[in-house]
């Protein structure tokens, strides 16, 4: 029996109009890192961001990984505030279904690889935080614990007081699927930007997810 859902946030509940990761890094992140005396190119940043390399890998270059990510997250906070002010961060229309999931008696969590502060910033901008029993962002005590690591999903299960078989993870990427399966949770791929192989279920949007969930509660 399904008792709870763990949602990814970026590109699942909200999206960023015109976002280009390389341009964002070059224009926003790199200058700030240089002001802190940190030299990091986009290729290495992107590999550690996706955990193709551990985020602790930068220690090889004399960079404190926690300091690095705190600087990046502070830049990201300024960027998100600018994008919100310009109306370039938007909620998908189907986020209205979050209320339906609550009416079905489900416990809900939001889990993001962004910092907790940045995750809450976006959720609160669209009044979405009210739907969630728990919101989790990256844990600076375990910066390699971001998705596709199952660490944050396990933490969400604990906060919701759910067993893996009582929950599902809903996201747009392979990282969400891998993180879910890492702790034995079913994974639902919302096909926002293409189908992700390996998910237990695929839905075109959250309205279709409602119909799927109704068969499980």
Q: How confident is the model at residue 193 (pLDDT cuts 50, 70, 90)?
A: confident
pLDDT digits (tens, 9 = 90+) for 105-140: 999 999 999 999 999 999 999 999 999 999 999 999
Same domain, 32 and 134: no
Its pTM stands at 0.96
Same domain, 25 and 9: no
d(CA 14, CA 170): 13
Residue in the block written with tokens 């907790």: 116
Residues 81 and 99 in one domain: no
Q: What is the mean pLDDT of residues 62-79?
A: 97
What is the C-alpha separation between 7 and 216, in angstroms, rounded?
Answer: 17
Domain encompassing residue 55 = 21-85
Confidence check: pLDDT of 103 > 90: yes
- Cβ neighbors of 55 (< 8 A, separation 6 or more) are 48, 49, 65, 69, 143, 144, 146
CATH code of the domain covering residue 173:
3.40.50.1000
CB 170 within 8 A of CB 12: yes
With 90 as the cut, is the pLDDT of residue 213 above it?
Answer: yes
Q: Which tokens hold the place of 20? A: 């280009």
């Amino acid at each position: 029996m399904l008792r709870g859902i763990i949602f990814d946030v970026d590109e699942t509940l909200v999206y960023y109009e015109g976002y280009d990761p390389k341009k964002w890094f070059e224009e926003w992140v790199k200058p700030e890192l240089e002001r802190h005396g940190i030299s990091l190119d986009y290729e290495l940043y992107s590999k550690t961001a996706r955990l193709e390399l551990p985020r602790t890998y930068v220690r090889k270059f004399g960079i404190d990984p926690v300091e690095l990510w705190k600087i990046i997250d502070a830049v990201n906070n300024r960027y998100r505030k600018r994008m919100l002010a310009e109306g370039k961060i938007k909620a998908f229309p189907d986020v209205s279904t979050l209320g339906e999931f609550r009416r079905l008696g489900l416990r809900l969590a939001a889990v993001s690889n962004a910092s907790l502060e940045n995750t809450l910033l976006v959720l609160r901008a669209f009044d979405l935080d009210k739907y969630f029993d728990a919101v989790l962002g990256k844990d600076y005590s375990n910066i390699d614990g971001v998705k596709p690591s199952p660490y944050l999903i396990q933490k969400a299960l604990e906060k919701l007081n759910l067993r893996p078989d009582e929950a599902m993870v809903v996201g747009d990427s392979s990282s969400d699927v891998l993180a879910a399966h890492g702790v034995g949770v079913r994974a639902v791929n919302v096909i926002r930007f293409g189908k992700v192989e390996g998910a237990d279920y695929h839905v075109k949007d959250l309205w279709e997810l409602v119909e799927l969930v109704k068969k499980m509660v």
